[in-house]
Amino acid sequence: MSIDNAKKPYLKIKNLTKRFGKFTALDNISLDIFESEFVCFLGPSGCGKTTLLRAIAGLDIQTLGSIEQNDTNISGLPPAERDFGIVFQSYALFPNLTVNKNVGYGLENRKIPRTQIKSRVEELLELVGLPEQGSKYPAQLSGGQQQRIALARALATSPGLLLLDEPLSALDARVRDRLRGEIKSLQRRLGVTTIMVTHDQEEALTMADRIVVMDHGLIEQVGSPEEIYSQPKTAFVADFIGTMNFIPGIVTVNGAVTVGPAVIQCGTTTFKAGDKIFVAIRPEDINAQDIAVDDNNVIEVEIRSLEFMGSFYRATLGGGAFANSDVYADFSINLMRRKSVEVGNKLPVRLPSNFIQVYTANGA
Amino acid sequence: MSDAALTSHISPQPVVKPKLSRDDWIMRACMVGIGSLLVIFIVLPLYTMLSKSVENKAEEFIGLANFNEYFSTPALFQSAANSLSIALISTFVVISVAFVYGYALTRTCMPYKWLFKIIAVIPLLTPSLLGGISLVYWFGNQGVAKALLLGETIYGPIGITIGSSYWVFPHALMIIITALSITDARLYEAADALRTTKFRTFFTVTLPGCKYGLTSAAFVVFTLVFTDFGVPKVIGGNYNMLATDVYKQVIGQQNFQMGAVVSVVLLVPAILAFVVDQIVQKKQVAMLSARAVPYAPKPSAGRDMSMLIFCSIVALVIVGMLGMAQYAALVKFWPYNLSLSFSNYDFDVMDGGGWEAFWNSLEMATYTAIIGTVVIFYGSYLMEKGRGFDVGRKIFHMLAILPLAVPGLVLGLAYIFFFNNPANPFHFVYGTIGILVLVSISHFYTVSHLTAVTALKQMDPEFESVSASLKAPFYKTFFRVTVPVCTPAILDVSMYLFLNAMTTVSAVIFLYSSDTTLASVAVMNMDDAGDIAPAAAMAMMIAYTCAGVRIMHSILSRGLIKHTQAWRNH
Ligand SMILES: Nc1ncnc2c1ncn2[C@@H]1O[C@H](COP(=O)(O)OP(=O)(O)O)[C@@H](O)[C@H]1O
Ligand SMILES: [Mg+2]
């Protein structure tokens, strides 16, 4: 999904810094979010995702920096004067109120006639797939159902911005998978600008239009799921998302890298000769089929172990240029049948240069 | 001025100043309001009392001269030593007994646990004086079991120790039961798996597991006994204690300055105990893990039987105290005419306040419960759920914790100094039922506040975030969600306030007037005048009332929980 760059951003975050005492939880963050976009904040626990979301909501106001929503500066405004709906991991449903009352809670103080509230609540319950459950109490519903009610409550007042803080983390795997799809399609249908915080890369990759990868209070990369996955800008992103092999090497003069005895061709434009680097490649990009004699980046390796993963085998490769750095490669069942791939065998593999990323090894 | 302008020019980003919403303003204003009440009704009176202790009768500053005089009066100094030794002995007795009793209730399969739990609560329903009165009938000059003392007199250290131990027992027991209940069963499973002997498990797992609870209970007991006034007044005879000294100085000799000095001496160990307890409790919280598995005891015939015997003895002592007071209240003329009648309940023909004292108590306790619950719960809500204003909330918390460190007698005396001054704008409450309500709420503030805070902390902190995002004003969420969800805690607080207001002597002894005599004060005055049987009868009136309120409370809690908390049953 491409974002029209001419479009004006709906939410403009500029130079945001948040400190808790001496600790800097967010370090000069800038980010634009466009209308109707589904953005995921992704990163390991403690990296500042929730802090950023709460700053956007006004629940914990940033130390420095500004936030503009819909061309209005909302930097210091209290939550009640901002326009958003929010869903938490804990659901935070009012336990003593029925589902109807929970969903209608935000409508009650807007001088809307009762009948209209009632029909709006029904409409919302329909929307989240829980009609007929209105008279129950939250404790009578399953976790997944409660989270849907929380979503309905957040959407009831038709906010311009929907904030979700790890909404699926408290649910078990199967419910989580189903809700992922439902939330995503609901968001598409309503077109509400949405920010979701998660530490689960799969969740971010499947749901987001754009992913903001964060670490230690900094943004590491912003991009579509495909970009983030195939062109990770930093070693952190490469390592955090999916599986990535890091093979140590040294840059030679002509934009190539020596890895042990082998020379690997890759775009090393930003590095100087002699720089220590990591050659990074994903297991599924390591090629063992149709290798021609004059192909470059072909290395003879040994199969150290094989792990059956269902639809493919994950091989651990070593020896040759890889020496003792274990490198994973994914081999299809088909390949396994055609070639005699067995533990202890030697095998030529190719590292296609267009799938290779190079990261500095300094400080790593 | 120009400097500030300059730096803001150079610095590219000014610190974001959060704008306060209308809700923030209201909440802060209310919190500051309740905080000011705490300052007016606790801090300022204490301050006045402290300054009185360094003044002479002409209200001139004389430094520590009063203290010098105090410490050079051997009789007064002796009182401090007496108070200290009685408090230490009682602490040892009560903690040992309460620990075994609590252990039996939580860690064994002893039968009739429910009955022992109910009996243990009895002393909370009676004024501390009742124990003393009962002891007079059991072991006094004309007591039925006087021979058991082998010639020793009950009027003195023995009586004070037994009487004090009786009424502080449930206080210690509650803390110890909590400590014993939070221990993680997995520790015992591990000990079992390692084939540790029961004996070793007790010393390596059980005791360390509740050492904070035990320490805390010990400090509570020590402070209660050290500062109590009722028991030594009734059964102390000529054995002087600090608390009775304060009373004598103030009521007997009208020496307010010296009363203030003794109060300060009384306050010091109470504050010390309080500080240590605060530190200990912080550690205890850290021990609690959310994933702890509750311990389920297994039957063991020998242990369960010996526990049953032990608890039965303790229960018999408690029932014996209450039973003797009841018997004495009904007996016509002890020990000469043991036929039963209600003549001792004819309070109006006796000095001490008559039936009016009882109705005053009822009225005072009701006001204390209602006003106290509203103010305390709302205050703890504002402190716990307010946004920002961290400094204000910290100060509020400290103010709310402070009353726990102040003995009732000391607070009562401080109230005289503060409110008796005609220049004080609050002087008008002096001599009314209002000041009794105020002193009771203030004196019992901390425990109520902490109960409310605990309940509020258990609520999802995001309720407030969600309501703000839905633009619901805070009071809407307060009334529609917070109050209903916290109803059990609110009822607990109101009952706690009622029972304590009904039974307290020390906080109100200096503050009642002839129109506002209270039942507990009447017990003391009738006892003083030698009308011991009517005193017992009045003490029993308090006990019936408290028991009735407690029963009503449990029925009401159950009903309300069923009604407003239907969601809990699913
Ligand atoms: N109220 C707070 N006071 C102090 N430190 C905080 C507070 N809230 C968050 N932090 C710290 O800020 C960092 C980021 O927290 P958070 O945004 O919650 O992380 P996450 O990415 O897991 O959501 C963490 O190291 C956390 O300990
Ligand atoms: Mg988080």
- A15/B485 Cβ within 8 A: no
- B19/A65 Cβ within 8 A: no
- Out of A75, A86, A138, the one facing B466 most closely (by C-beta) is A86
Which of A26, A42, A47 maximizes ligand 1 atoms within 8 Å of its Cβ, making it the mutation to test the pocket?
A47
Q: Judge if the upstream peptide bond of residue B335 is cis by omega within 30 degrees of 0.
A: yes
Q: How confident is the model at residue B271 (pLDDT cuts 50, 70, 90)?
A: confident
Taking Cα atoms as reference points, which of B564, B477, B563 lies closest to residue A102? B477
- The three state secondary structure string of B288-328 is CCCCCCCCCCCCCHHHHHHHHHHHHHHHHHHHHHHHHHHHH
- Mean pLDDT, consecutive 10-residue stretches, chain A (364 aa), reads 65 96 96 97 96 96 96 95 96 94 92 92 95 92 95 96 96 92 95 97 96 97 96 95 92 82 79 87 90 81 90 89 85 83 87 90 66
- Residue B302's identity, in one-letter code, is G
- Can you tell me the distance from the alpha carbon of B42 to that of B410, in angstroms, rounded to the nearest whole number? 11
| Set of chain B residues whose Cβ sits within 8 Å of the Cβ of A137 | 566-567, 570
- B564/A140 Cβ within 8 A: no
**Is the pLDDT confidence value at B1 over 60?**
no
- Can you tell me the distance from the alpha carbon of B101 to that of B172, in angstroms, rounded to the nearest whole number? 11
**Is the pLDDT confidence value at B57 over 90?**
no
- Can you tell me the distance from the alpha carbon of B472 to that of B263, in angstroms, rounded to the nearest whole number? 49
Among the ranges given (B159-168, B204-213, B289-298, B532-541), the one the predictor scored with the smallest mean pLDDT:
B289-298
DSSP state of A287: B
- Can you tell me the distance from the alpha carbon of B132 to that of B129, in angstroms, rounded to the nearest whole number? 5
| Alpha helix (H) residue ranges in chain A | 49-57, 99-108, 114-127, 143-155, 173-190, 201-207, 225-230, 235-240, 333-338
Q: Hey, what long-range contacts does B294-303 have (CB within 8 A, 24 or more apart)? A: B294/B181, B294/B185, B295/B106, B295/B107, B295/B181, B295/B183, B295/B184, B295/B185, B295/B188, B296/B185, B297/B106, B297/B107, B297/B108, B297/B109, B298/B109, B299/B109, B300/B108, B300/B109, B303/B108
- Out of A76, A80, A95, the one facing B471 most closely (by C-beta) is A80
- Can you tell me the distance from the alpha carbon of A47 to that of A125, in angstroms, rounded to the nearest whole number? 35
DSSP state of A70: T
Q: Hey, what long-range contacts does B8-13 have (CB within 8 A, 24 or more apart)? A: B13/A15, B13/A17, B13/A64, B13/A65
Q: How confident is the model at residue B293 (pLDDT cuts 50, 70, 90)?
A: low
- Can you tell me the distance from the alpha carbon of B121 to that of B495, in angstroms, rounded to the nearest whole number? 13
* pLDDT score recorded for residue B289: 47
**Is the pLDDT confidence value at B564 over 70?**
no
pLDDT digit string (tens) for B215-233? 888 988 998 999 888 899 9
How many C-alpha atoms does A261 have within 13 Å on its Cβ side?
8
Q: Which two tokens stand for residue B492?
A: 């607990």
- Can you tell me the distance from the alpha carbon of B20 to that of B30, in angstroms, rounded to the nearest whole number? 15
Among the ranges given (A2-16, B234-248, B440-454), the one the predictor scored with the smallest mean pLDDT:
A2-16
Q: In a 10 Å sphere around its CB, with 0-12 CB exposed, 13-18 middle and 19+ buried, how is residue A298 labelled?
A: middle
Q: Among all ligands shown, which has an atom nearest to the Cα of A169?
A: 2
Whether A103 contacts A135, CB under 8 Å: no
**Is the pLDDT confidence value at B470 over 70?**
yes
- Can you tell me the distance from the alpha carbon of B229 to that of B224, in angstroms, rounded to the nearest whole number? 9
- Can you tell me the distance from the alpha carbon of B516 to that of A316, in angstroms, rounded to the nearest whole number? 89
- Can you tell me the distance from the alpha carbon of B311 to that of B304, in angstroms, rounded to the nearest whole number? 10
Task: Report the nearest atom of ligand 1 relative to the CA of A166.
Answer: 23
- A139/B565 Cβ within 8 A: no
Q: Hey, whose CA ends up nearest to atom 14 of ligand 1?
A: A48
Q: Where are the beta strands (DSSP E) in B334-479?
A: 337-340
Q: Among all ligands shown, which has an atom nearest to the Cα of A44?
A: 1
| Set of chain B residues whose Cβ sits within 8 Å of the Cβ of A80 | 21, 23, 468-469, 471
* pLDDT score recorded for residue B73: 83
pLDDT digit string (tens) for B81-121? 999 999 999 999 999 999 999 999 988 999 999 999 999 99
Domain ranges of chain B: 86-240+260-337
Query: B471 vs chain A: nearest CA distance in angstroms?
Result: 5
Q: Which two tokens stand for residue A82?
A: 């901002």
- Does the beta carbon of B487 lie under 8 angstroms from any beta carbon of chain A? no
- A156/B13 Cβ within 8 A: no
Query: B13 vs chain A: nearest CA distance in angstroms?
Result: 6
- Can you tell me the distance from the alpha carbon of B23 to that of B29, in angstroms, rounded to the nearest whole number? 10
Q: How confident is the model at residue B5 (pLDDT cuts 50, 70, 90)?
A: very low
| Set of chain A residues whose Cβ sits within 8 Å of the Cβ of B466 | 86, 88, 92, 153-154
Q: Which residues of B91-104 are buried (b: 16+ CB within 10 A; e: fewer)?
A: bebbbebbbbbbbb
- Can you tell me the distance from the alpha carbon of A133 to that of A112, in angstroms, rounded to the nearest whole number? 22
Give, to the nearest 10 degrees, the angle between helix A173-190 and helix A143-155.
20
Task: Report the nearest atom of ligand 1 relative to the CA of A48.
Answer: 17
- Can you tell me the distance from the alpha carbon of A242 to that of A215, in angstroms, rounded to the nearest whole number? 16
- Can you tell me the distance from the alpha carbon of B540 to that of B125, in angstroms, rounded to the nearest whole number? 9
Work out the end-to-end distance of chain B between its first and last CA atoms, rounded to an integer number of angstroms: 63
Query: A82 vs chain B: nearest CA distance in angstroms?
Result: 8
Taking Cα atoms as reference points, which of B138, B537, B133 lies closest to residue B331? B537
Is residue B72 classed as helix, strand or coil in its secondary structure? coil
User: Ligand 1 centre and the CA of A50: distance in Å?
Assistant: 7
DSSP state of B18: P
- Can you tell me the distance from the alpha carbon of A42 to that of A31, in angstroms, rounded to the nearest whole number? 14
* pLDDT score recorded for residue B419: 94
The size of chain A, in residues, is 364
- Can you tell me the distance from the alpha carbon of B443 to that of B437, in angstroms, rounded to the nearest whole number? 10
What ipTM was reported for this prediction?
Answer: 0.87
Q: Where are the beta strands (DSSP E) in chain A?
A: 9-20, 23-34, 38-42, 64-69, 72-73, 85-87, 161-165, 193-198, 210-215, 218-223, 245-251, 256-259, 262-265, 276-281, 298-308, 312-318, 327-332, 346-350, 357-360
**How many CB atoms lie under 10 A from the CB of residue B533?**
24
Which residue of chain B has the CA closest to A163? Answer: B469
Q: Hey, what long-range contacts does B456-463 have (CB within 8 A, 24 or more apart)? A: B456/B380, B456/B381, B456/B384, B456/B385, B456/B482, B456/B486, B457/B384, B459/B485, B459/B486, B460/A88, B460/A90, B460/A92, B461/B385, B462/A88, B462/A90, B462/A92, B463/A92, B463/A94
| Strand ordering across the sheet containing A298-308 | A327-332, A312-318, A298-308, A346-350
User: Ligand 2 centre and the CA of A45: distance in Å?
Assistant: 7
DSSP state of B123: G
- Can you tell me the distance from the alpha carbon of B345 to that of B538, in angstroms, rounded to the nearest whole number? 7
Sign of the Cα torsion B422, B428, B433, B438 reads negative
Q: Which fold has domain B86-240+260-337?
A: MetI-like fold (1.10.3720)
Residues 117-156 of A with CB under 8 A from B: 137-140, 153-154, 156
Higher pLDDT, A238 or B188: A238
Q: How confident is the model at residue B251 (pLDDT cuts 50, 70, 90)?
A: confident
Q: Hey, whose CA ends up nearest to atom 24 of ligand 1?
A: A46
Whether B445 contacts B403, CB under 8 Å: yes
- Can you tell me the distance from the alpha carbon of B93 to that of B169, in angstroms, rounded to the nearest whole number? 10
Pocket of ligand 1 (CB under 6 A): A 20, 23, 25, 43, 45-51
* pLDDT score recorded for residue B6: 43
* pLDDT score recorded for residue B557: 84
Which of A41, A51, A60 maximizes ligand 1 atoms within 8 Å of its Cβ, making it the mutation to test the pocket?
A51
Higher pLDDT, B207 or A333: A333
- Can you tell me the distance from the alpha carbon of B554 to that of B18, in angstroms, rounded to the nearest whole number? 45
Contacts of B271 (CB under 8 A, 6+ apart): B405
Q: Hey, whose CA ends up nearest to atom 2 of ligand 1?
A: A20
Which of A50, A86, A218 maximizes ligand 1 atoms within 8 Å of its Cβ, making it the mutation to test the pocket?
A50
Tell me the pLDDT of chain B averaged across its residues. Answer: 88
Task: Report the nearest atom of ligand 1 relative to the CA of A60.
Answer: 1
How many C-alpha atoms does B213 have within 13 Å on its Cβ side?
25
How many C-alpha atoms does A231 have within 13 Å on its Cβ side?
7
pLDDT digit string (tens) for B501-526? 999 998 999 999 989 999 999 999 99
Q: Which residue has the tokens 């992922």?
A: A180
pLDDT digit string (tens) for A263-297? 888 876 678 888 888 999 999 999 888 787 777 88
